Chain A
Amino acid sequence: MGTTLLGATAGVVGSYAVLRRRALVSDMLAHAALPGICLAFLIVGARDIFALSIGALATGLVGLLLVTVLCRWTRTKEDAAIGIVLSTFFGAGVVLLSFAQRHHQGNQAGLDTYLFGEIAAMQSREVRLLLAVGTLVLLAVFALHKEFKVLAFDPDFAASQGWPIFILDFGMMALLAVVTVVGLPICGVILMAALIILPSAAARFWTNRLGPLLLLAGLFGGASAAVGTLLASPVPQQLLGFNPLAFGWHPSHLPPGPLIVLTTASLLVVSLVVAPQHGIAARLIGEFRLRARIFREHLLRSLYEMSEAELPALPAIAESALVDYRSWNRLLVDWQVRRAQRRGLVELQDGTIRLTADGLTTAANLTRTHRLWELFLVEYANIAADHVDRDADDVEHLLPQPLIDDLQRRLAEEGRLPLEPRVDVPPPSMPESPHELEP
């Protein structure tokens, strides 16, 4: 249906706008369209959607050009320029609207709907126009995918390759203008911007690549539009055989615009929380796991340090001693000790803890790594940044081998070098945060 395509198109084009940090330009385009609509109406004398759309597009593009001119040739900054054009054009629109209302009674019913959007008044001709425009815009975006991609990501590089930056940019904004104008009768002036920005903001949480982002934004946009439209109109609900009164929902003929926006907003909130990599839930869980692992490793290392004096014999260490060693929270220690026991790294007996053979190896590795680092930082701090590849996982790969050999030798001399790892036990991976060096 019409709105679905609109939602999808808006989502896709909007992604580019957001990536170019031009999200609110869509708001400006929507507001700047009003005087164009009124002018077109005054000229044509009737509510012909085609003429009104052309008028809207015209003033929208003029507004766009004006913002560019103001930014380039005056002191006014981009945000102020957008705000100025947005509000003055809208003011002009309001004036023209009142002029039309006073002098053209009756015929202008429906001009008001441009403010909030009403879908009921859409005729099939208008739907056809919507479909045609939507398809064209999507085709254009598809054709220019790589051009827009490089323009949005690295304009300098794109310019050096010879791409006409200004034209491409204007083209992108013009597509945005077209989508905005076409969607105005449905969503109304203010909420059109939402349709453009929200889907891509939500989609960003789910993917790291541009292609999928565009697809997902389109999907989200289209789906919310469909859902919002359904919620707004009673007819489809009846078609679905769905009695809303049973749920206490009164079909009070809410306009579709706000409902679409709220649907998309809820999608955004859900994405924000739930999305696997960028979502808040995922990040919190990841952090939690990381902290737990760090704690675990500190625990083992402390056990090693407390046992070191009596090696190779494995002493029994009182749990309370362990808690005091680092002034840790007793419950936390309890929990992790039991976990370690389940993994065969320690033995628990009458409130004492003893490292197993496996536990000893693991703890020794951890301590060795830790001490190498410490020594490195102390001795070689002034060239630390030069020699460290911050993304490597093991200290063996972080530092050049000759340096590691030298550090190991020195630790051995001091009597602080823990046992060499057995070859059949894999070395533990380095926890990232405590050992990250500042550049």
Chain B
Amino acid sequence: MIDLFEPFRSTTAWWTIAVGATTNVACALVGCYLVLRRMSLMGDALAHAVLPGLVLAFLFSGTLNIVPLFLGAVTVGLLATFLIQSLHQYGRVPADASMGVVFTSMFALGVVLVKRYLSGIHFDAACVYEGLLQFVALNTVDVAGLEVPRTLLTIGPVLLMNILVIALFWKELKISSFDANLASAMGFSATIMHYLLMVLVAVTTVASFEAVGSILVVAMLIVPAATAHLLCDRLSYMVFLACLAGVLSAVGGYWIARVWNVNPAGSMTIAAGGLYGLAVLFSPRYGMISTISRNLQTSLRVTCEDILAMLYRVEETDIQQRLDTSSAVQALGGGFVSRWGISALIRQRQIVRTKQGLQLTDTGRSVAKSLVRSHRLWEAYLVQHLGLPLDHIHEPAHRVEHFIDEKLRHNLEEAVDDTGRDPHGRDIPNG
């Protein structure tokens, strides 16, 4: 029996997860706004564009100290943002192309700088992409008697900063994300918010590099936020859920990495992607499964109502006549939904199966009555207000009748002249 929890049974594991989780949450916080502003790819762009900044900072400061690296990243990040805006506004280059132009050029510059000046130093290209999460727990610093990974000391404050900025500027960020023009009109400069957000992205990106590398930063920025977007309708919930998704990805990813002995950062990305996939399918309001199930339910309801209405009309013509099951199914066009509908109705005691065929119960009859009432009222409405000819009203009414509730029926009654007879001369059953 495989011990599923084996990977979690060491302090190394927990510290690694902690670093991963902190990184993910810091990214998710900022990422929510990127996703809402439809600037997800800006996160991608910045993550790549900061490379030359990092190299230059390293060259100038001569150390891997985090502060000059941050400075380098922020400067270059702001520069990149500015270039992208200007290229778009003054160069008339389309927005996405200007992003592509700027960040790839800057990244190319970064690569050239790296290969030219840093080739002496051990600089594994891959780690720029993938990060070194597997090693973070080894590189520790003593803090109050606890062996804390150095990376956590970098990313931790960044997380706090992100939380602080977002809390402080909550409503400004909300408004400018929703409608930049409105925000500017109200006095919150949308441009400043934009640059502020970009600065946060740049800083978070750099802080996350060591853990997850540049490409995966993009994943951490966007994917949990997109997952949260599918699950809720309020900004506060979305931010919370995004952070939760970030933490879960960290835990799940670590587990995958340990069990299959693969790169942990990549695994966290896959975990995040998996969560997104689950949301796409199962989100209560927006998921595909929910939608399909809702559609099926509506189909079933419509079919049931059609059956009841049909039986009612049969009764109208001849109170004694019954319809047997197979004729009923055939009249509805066959298919399993009709059979299913009949069974459902029998279960709900709206019809019963007798020797001669199907028969409405009292409950069933009153439901059928409302339906037929809706149908005939709608027909009257179509004739009177839309001027449709008599032979064109049955089909439309047949489609719409299932969506007419009591309130609408009431409005129809007021709109229609004669609520006793429908345009074909038949009785409209009273409600």
Contacts and interface: CB of A to CB of B under 8 A. Distances in A.
B101 A265 contact: yes
Given A79-B40, A97-B263, A190 B269 contact: no
B44 A27 contact: yes
B90 A95 contact: no
A87 B288 CA distance: 22
Interface string B208-234: 000000011011011101100110000
Given A84-B226, A84-B273, A92-B266, A197 B286 contact: no
Given A74-B286, A79-B40, A94-B266, A23 B94 contact: yes
Interface stretch (A158-166, A256-264, A341-349, A389-397): A256-264
B129 A115 contact: yes
A68 B115 CA distance: 38
A98 B266 contact: yes
A88 B272 contact: yes
Interface in A4-36: 18, 21-24, 26-27, 31
Given A91-B265, A258-B112, A262-B108, A77 B38 contact: yes
Given A77-B38, A280-B90, A87 B215 contact: yes
A191 B107 contact: yes
A257 B257 CA distance: 31
A198 B105 CA distance: 9
Interface in A181-217: 190-191, 193-194, 197-198, 200-201, 204-205
Nearest to A261: B108
B104 A255 contact: no
Contact of A80 (B40, B90, B265): B40
A92 to B, nearest CB: 6
Contact of A92 (B99, B107, B269): B269
Contact of A95 (B40, B94, B101, B270): B270
A90 B97 contact: no
Contacts of A88: 219, 223, 269-270, 272-273, 276
Contact of A191 (B108, B260, B286): B108
A70 B40 contact: no
Interface in B16-46: 35, 38-41, 43-44
B116 interface: yes
A204 B97 CA distance: 12
A347 B109 CA distance: 59
A91 B218 CA distance: 10
B287 to A, nearest CB: 8
Nearest to A253: B115
A87 B223 contact: yes
Contact of A87 (B96, B105, B269, B280): B269
B288 to A, nearest CB: 6
Given A76-B229, A83-B41, A278-B92, A116 B270 contact: no
A112 interface: yes
B116 A74 contact: no
B125 A258 contact: no
Given A254-B116, A258-B109, A84 B222 contact: yes
A78 B216 CA distance: 19
Contact of A86 (B218, B257, B265): B218
A287 to B, nearest CB: 12
B97 A201 contact: yes
A146 interface: no
Contacts of A70: 280
A75 interface: yes
Residue of A22, A70, A79 most packed against chain B (CB within 10 A): A79
Contacts of B105: 194, 198, 261-262, 265, 268
A190 B222 contact: no
Interface string B67-90: 000000000000000000001001
Given A23-B97, A102-B261, A90 B269 contact: yes
Contact of A75 (B40, B266, B270, B286): B286
B100 interface: yes
Chain B, interface size category, equals 35 or more
Given A254-B112, A258-B112, A84 B263 contact: no
B119 interface: yes
Contact of B126 (A21, A112, A262): A112
B369 interface: no
Interface in A240-297: 252-255, 257-259, 261-262, 265, 268, 272, 278, 280
Contact of A31 (B95, B108, B215, B268): B215
B267 A95 contact: yes
A384 B221 CA distance: 52
Interface string B245-289: 000000000001100111101111110110010001000001010
A293 to B, nearest CB: 23
Given A23-B97, A272-B91, A87 B38 contact: no
Nearest to B35: A80
B48 interface: yes
A82 B215 contact: no
Contacts of A198: 100-101, 104-105
A190 B100 CA distance: 10
A335 interface: no
Given A83-B43, A95-B267, A190 B107 contact: yes
B41 A262 contact: no
Contacts of B260: 95, 99
Residue of A70, A190, A265, A278 most packed against chain B (CB within 10 A): A190
A143 to B, nearest CB: 25
Contacts of A84: 40, 219, 222-223, 226, 273, 276
A68 B256 CA distance: 29
Nearest to B99: A24
Contact of A201 (B93, B272, B288): B93
A78 B272 CA distance: 18
A91 B219 contact: yes
A24 B41 CA distance: 8
A191 B257 CA distance: 28
B130 interface: yes
Contacts of A102: 261-262
B116 A86 contact: no
A237 B105 CA distance: 24
A75 B230 contact: yes
Contacts of A255: 111, 115
Contacts of B100: 23-24, 26-27, 193-194, 197-198
A24 B269 CA distance: 20
B262 A193 contact: no
A259 B105 CA distance: 10
Contacts of B256: 95
Nearest to B37: A79
23 contacts: A21-B94, A23-B97, A70-B280, A76-B230, A77-B35, A80-B35, A80-B226, A83-B44, A83-B223, A84-B273, A86-B44, A87-B44, A87-B219, A88-B276, A92-B273, A95-B270, A99-B261, A115-B129, A194-B108, A255-B111, A258-B107, A258-B112, A261-B105
Given A31-B215, A91-B268, A99-B260, 4 more contacts: A18-B97, A91-B273, A197-B97, A254-B115
Interface of A: 18, 21-24, 26-27, 31, 70, 73-80, 82-84, 86-88, 90-99, 102, 112, 115-116, 190-191, 193-194, 197-198, 200-201, 204-205, 252-255, 257-259, 261-262, 265, 268, 272, 278, 280
Interface of B: 35, 38-41, 43-44, 48, 87, 90-101, 104-105, 107-109, 111-112, 115-116, 119, 125-126, 129-130, 215-216, 218-219, 221-223, 225-226, 229-230, 256-257, 260-263, 265-270, 272-273, 276, 280, 286, 288
